[in-house]
Structure 1
Amino acid sequence: MRGGALSGEKRGPDYLPNPTLFCEANVTTAYSQETMNIPPLGPYIDPQKVVVIGAATGMGASTVKKLLESGRRVAAIDINRVVLDSSAEFSTLGDVTDAVDIKRAVDEAADALGGIEAVVCCVGINGLGTIDETEPEEWNRQFAVNAFGPYASARAALPHLRASGGGAIVVLTSQVGIVAQKGNAAYCAAKAAAIHLVRCMAADLAAENIRVNSVAPGITGPTGMFDSWLSLFPDEESRAAEAQRQIDTNMQKRIVHPDEVAAAAVFAVSNVAPGIIGQTFVVDGGYSLV
């Protein structure tokens, strides 16, 4: 490399080892929008017709609200009949543990909206127990909702997303799908499965202009998920201790609000960042860092 740019020989600030490589004409040719296959942002779908599954309460209901506030048309699905009172344009009952039933619900939502351009799956159930404390029935129940549910929801939505020319799938998972938590084996394992499912779907569907990402919330409150989680503890003293632990392990010393999770989901749905694929947005106040 004698005499070259890597030889250690000192050169002036204007020195270039081969100036012709850096001329404007060559840069334009080598790194043009056409040769690098970079389309403008405009053609990427900014989904306006969105189905939220698990929309009755908590983060799902907050996601419906945030989507409506952003001007989108929304259909809401849940196994909980509360969803029928949703402010969404269309709502229906659907069970994510039954692939046939959730497909029926998603198809009805597509008919009501005139198509689907995004689906947000907000389903989940809590549980406690080490593997020896968790009966097979409970293990299967956790996976049926927390892992099979996102699979069945995305699979039901895929034909409609393809018919729209692409879109987005967003799955709400959990921070404990990323970090371990003592005494919560089935839930952690099921949410970890959902996160990896998102990565696999993202890899499979990116070429079809379907972006898949997840949002991993911590415990949210003041109602909904927080109350559901605390109800798993046997008495008021243990519930109070767990509530304080959740606050203490949040770096901001608070509980995450469902609207914060919903905001991340709406961002993941939108075409603001079309290059974000297969990622997990963690909204847990820093819980998973400690």
Structure 2
Amino acid sequence: MNRYDDRDRDARVRDGAPVRELSGLKALVTGGASGIGLATARLLAARGADVAVLDLDPSAVPEPLRGYRADVTDDAMVRTAVDAVASDLAGLDIVVNNAGIGAVGTVEEGTDDQWHRVFDVNVMGMVRTSRAALPYLRASAHAALVHVCSIAATAGLPQRALYSASKGAVQSLTLAMAADHIREGIRVNCVNPGTADTPWVGRLLDQAADPAAERAALQARQPLGRLVSAGEVAAAIAYLASPAAASVTGTALAVDGGMQGLRLRPAER
């Protein structure tokens, strides 16, 4: 059931000037204290939303964002935090499932415990947050869930077996949830960033034998020749979360510098 129509759009324009498109909407971003999550939370707030951030350490979350401590691997903690957010904000319209962790190595190199840990955070963390938020989203006229997935879900990347498997599950989960909840008026989409210039990637590069060479290799595999910025990913998330995307659901939006779809000839020397 699509609850957004031209009357809603027109109501958001006054005296010929557009009103901030997320004005009056309530948003929650997991893993929102740094990187893509923080960039997203800030952008949603700049566009008029009242934004809450869930993070293991929300102490440094800047105003006007509201910080709440939560570990997405703890179901009771997630439910308590989501209930507190919905109470404080008087509802929920947007949930961005961004919290996640990385993993490096082939299928032979990860232990069972490592596989369980990554899936617990990257997949089950989204499940826990989503199911805690769904009762509130059902009451919204502009309900949207956006999952932060990865180009690793659709491209075979070396040394990323565990991480890719978890993100492939996230993309499949997105499609299944979109089908399950479309008649409740809840849209579900995901963004698939390429390698983004975030603190996590910085830490990964620091662990490489030659950080400069590793950064150059990551840049070279993206046709634009550079890493994706956190702000570029945030802009895609904000679009999918907005009533402007009212007809968009079950979609994976790549923000990858052309990595997934382009096959360039070698550059001429």
Amino acid paired to 1:40: D
Contact 2:3–2:142 (8 Å) recurs in 1:
no
Indicate yes or no: 2:245 matched with 1:270.
Answer: no
Residue equivalent to 1:250: 222
Task: Select 2:123's aligned residue among 147, 150, 170.
Answer: 147
Tell me how large the CA RMSD over aligned residues is. Answer: 2.1
Number of positions where the alignment pairs a residue of Structure 1 with one of Structure 2: 249
TM-score (norm 1): 0.81
Q: Which moved more, 1:41-50 or 1:257-266?
A: 41-50
Q: 1:274 to 1:181 in 2, by over 3 A?
A: same
What does 1:16-165 align with in structure 2 at a 5 Å threshold?
40-42=5-7, 48-82=25-59, 84-165=60-141
Secondary structure at the counterpart of residue 76 of structure 1 = strand
C-alpha deviation, 1:39, in angstroms = 7.5
Amino acid paired to 1:67: L
Secondary structure at the counterpart of residue 255 of structure 1 = coil
Indicate yes or no: 2:215 matched with 1:200.
Answer: no
Task: String of CA shifts for 1:203-245, please: whole Å, max 9, x gaps.
Answer: 0000000000001111111x41321332453x2x1x3222111
Task: String of CA shifts for 1:29-53, please: whole Å, max 9, x gaps.
Answer: xxxxxxxx99834459967111111
Q: 1:186 to 1:163 in 2, by over 3 A?
A: same
Secondary structure at the counterpart of residue 55 of structure 1 = coil
Q: 1:107 to 1:177 in 2, by over 3 A?
A: same
Task: Select 1:227's aligned residue among 202, 205, 219.
Answer: 202
Structure 1: distance between partners of 2:121 and 2:138: 25
Q: Which moved more, 1:161-170 or 1:185-194?
A: 161-170
Contact 1:52–1:64 (8 Å) recurs in 2:
yes
Structure 2: distance between partners of 1:124 and 1:50: 18
Which 4+ residue blocks in structure 1 deviate beyond 4 angstroms?
43-47
Contact 1:75–1:88 (8 Å) recurs in 2:
no
Task: Select 1:174's aligned residue among 150, 173, 196.
Answer: 150
Q: Which moved more, 1:185-194 or 1:148-157?
A: 148-157
Task: Select 2:160's aligned residue among 184, 197, 206.
Answer: 184
Contact 2:205–2:214 (8 Å) recurs in 1:
yes
Secondary structure at the counterpart of residue 138 of structure 2 = helix
C-alpha deviation, 1:183, in angstroms = 1.6
C-alpha deviation, 1:288, in angstroms = 2.1
Secondary structure at the counterpart of residue 272 of structure 1 = helix
Amino acid paired to 2:201: F
Q: 1:227 to 1:167 in 2, by over 3 A?
A: same
Structure 1: distance between partners of 2:114 and 2:86: 33
Amino acid paired to 1:78: D
C-alpha deviation, 1:166, in angstroms = 5.2
Structure 2: distance between partners of 1:142 and 1:265: 23
Residue equivalent to 2:189: 213
User: Can you give the 5+ residue segments of structure 1 that lack an aligned partner in the other structure?
Assistant: 1-36
Residue equivalent to 1:260: 232
Secondary structure at the counterpart of residue 145 of structure 2 = strand
C-alpha deviation, 1:268, in angstroms = 0.3
Amino acid paired to 2:30: I
Secondary structure at the counterpart of residue 287 of structure 1 = coil
Indicate yes or no: 2:264 matched with 1:288.
Answer: no
Based on CA coordinates, which of the two structures has the bigger radius of gyration? 1
Secondary structure at the counterpart of residue 245 of structure 2 = coil
Q: 1:180 to 1:88 in 2, by over 3 A?
A: farther
Structure 1: distance between partners of 2:67 and 2:27: 12
TM-score (norm 2): 0.87
